[in-house]
Structure 1
Amino acid sequence: MKSIEPTTTSHVPMPDGSTTPVQIWAAADPQATLVMVWPGFGMGGYYYRPLASLLLKAGFNVAIGELRGQGQSTAKATKKNQWGYHDLAAIDFPLQIAAAKQALGLKADHPMRFLAHSMGGQISCLFAGRPEAKTYNLQSIFGVGSGSPFFKAFGPKERRRLGAGAVLLGGVGGHVLGFWPGKIFGKDIVGYGRQSGTHMKEWQHFNRKNSLENLTGQDLNYVQEMKKVSIPLTLCRSANDEECPEASIDALASFLPTAPLCKLIVPGELGHNRWAREPAATVELFKQA
């Protein structure tokens, strides 16, 4: 579908001196709920413009964030410039939410929902355990293709692919180089671009143990705080999404045992990513959640 240009874009300063653009669409009703869209691993925010356009037509205020170092973010992962899950949940998400609400003239506690893809859903669950989730009035999480990378949740083919990724991204990138360079001899053999070493080490541990314990720099116990989350959690997937089987969804949902859980199938064979470019079915599910 044809995308609608954003009303404005806020360029949010980050602690490392980089900037993260937040694309913002203002609804006809200024008091409409804000939907924050969070990209998946290796995905840029521009990819989700068709989704944002349809959410806008459905009456929502919409903002698309970026994961640091991805899309139009100017951050560059190096051995000296690293970030992890905690930084994304505790710094990047709050700063981008604040920028979106300010640009729309909304109060900090204006109602907000998350629509998150893949890795964005993992970080959303961490954010939900933080005090900022209440400050910014997060009312629900709707994840698409969002699950845990825990190897036991996958079939043999995907388990091998994840295992190779854990060795390259977490082992070589995280433990040896301090960052994953993305392209090697001109080719991105993994397909996720340049990534922070700290984040990749934590992702590797997540893959092997289904654990988010002891995240680098954490200022609270995320695992314990996520157990207290009580907002609705909807996790959906396309039937042909091999990168997010139902067992992967269950493994992620296990971190939020008191959150009301709804699991859904997105109609159509839209895989892990294409649903964001053909978002009609997903937006219908989101409106009903």
Structure 2
Amino acid sequence: MTHHTEPIIVDADIPDGSRTPVNVFPGGERPLVVLWPGFGVGASYYRPIAAELAARGFPSAIGELRGQGASTARAGRHASWGYFELATQDYRLVIEAAKAELGLDESHPTVLLTHSLGGQVATAFLALDDAPRLGVAGLFGVGSGSPYFRTFEGNTRVRIRVGASLFALGNRLFGHWPGAIAGIDPVGYGRQPARLMADWRHLALHNSFEHVFDGHGVADHRAALAGVEAPVLFTRFENDEMCPLASSQALAGHLPNAEVGCEELPGRLGHNRWAREPQIVADRFERFLEDNGI
């Protein structure tokens, strides 16, 4: 098998007219792994973990959160999207584009490997019909938790509360979050759309997905989330101040009937470094699939 250290780039065309380049790493015949970034992190940052998984026989693809990295979308007063659009459009289209490039059937087993915000959107995605149709068999999060302020302590809790207020102010003033107000960017997420920041703010203040699903034809979002039964594991490193264990547990609580766990990983790779030093995460990810027969 040829191990690809550089990705094949294919495009996913988004309904708003933007384009999302997908980083595809061919692997073997094992489940497809689709990686989703966190706020403010481009897809290219995750190439080492994707290449490592491909070398282990997992075809892998890295999605780009709309408006970040190489995505051509640009948030503005008249260009907005939220968690629901990411889940129903971007997640679906990236998986479809990766499978088409790799010659995989629509139902080929697929596992989401998510970071931070990527895991929040993936939680919503699992509750939608597209997930089983596309063969999504599990979710493995790293540093993925709810931004609910009560799960944080000290300065981080303060930054989240201040950030929630500033995001609301930015949305009112500019119709989007411009990246900073008066030079202040409390969380370093960069330019982001109004609906996305409103969804994040609602999770941060109330730990509720109601705002994500409201107005999108989902009669009961709690029932939809309760219908998820796929195995889920949210992990974190012990020195990850952006995702304490309580944050992962708060996100896991939205999936009451899933085989869901929360776990600390050995090592001190923080919130981001694991993507560049992939051994620990790749080992635990592989065991997660083996434990669940995926």
Alpha-carbon contact 2:199-2:211 (below 8 Å) kept: no
Alpha-carbon contact 1:43-1:71 (below 8 Å) kept: yes
Residues 1:20 and 2:20 aligned together: yes
Q: In the alignment, what sits opposite 1:261?
A: 260
How far 1:198 moved relative to its partner?
0.8
Where do 1:96-115 residues align within 5 Å? 96-115=94-113
How far 1:57 moved relative to its partner?
1.2
Alpha-carbon contact 1:39-1:118 (below 8 Å) kept: yes
How far 1:267 moved relative to its partner?
1.6
Query: 1:245, 1:186 → 2: CA distance?
Result: 27
Distance 1:13 1:238, change over 3 A: same
Q: Secondary structure at the match of 1:43?
A: coil
Residues 1:194 and 2:195 aligned together: no
126-135 or 254-263, larger mean C-alpha shift: 254-263
Where do 1:151-190 residues align within 5 Å? 151-169=149-167, 171-182=168-179, 190=187
* CA distances 1:209-262 after superposition (whole Å, capped 9, x unpaired): 111104354232433211110010101000011111111111100100111122
Alpha-carbon contact 1:38-1:120 (below 8 Å) kept: yes
Query: 1:155, 1:113 → 2: CA distance?
Result: 32
Q: Which runs of 5+ in 2 are unaligned?
A: 289-294
Q: In the alignment, what sits opposite 1:70?
A: 68
Query: 2:67, 2:164 → 1: CA distance?
Result: 19
Q: Secondary structure at the match of 2:217?
A: coil
Among 126, 139, 142, the residue aligned to 1:144: 142
Q: In the alignment, what sits opposite 1:126?
A: 124
For 1:225, the aligned partner's letter is A
TM-score, normalising length: structure 1: 0.94
How far 1:188 moved relative to its partner?
5.5
Where do 1:34-113 residues align within 5 Å? 34-113=32-111
The CA RMSD measured in Å over matched residues stands at: 1.6
Among 208, 215, 234, the residue aligned to 1:211: 208
Q: Which runs of 5+ in 1 are unaligned?
A: none
| Runs of 4+ deviating beyond 3 Å | 183-190
Distance 1:86 1:228, change over 3 A: same
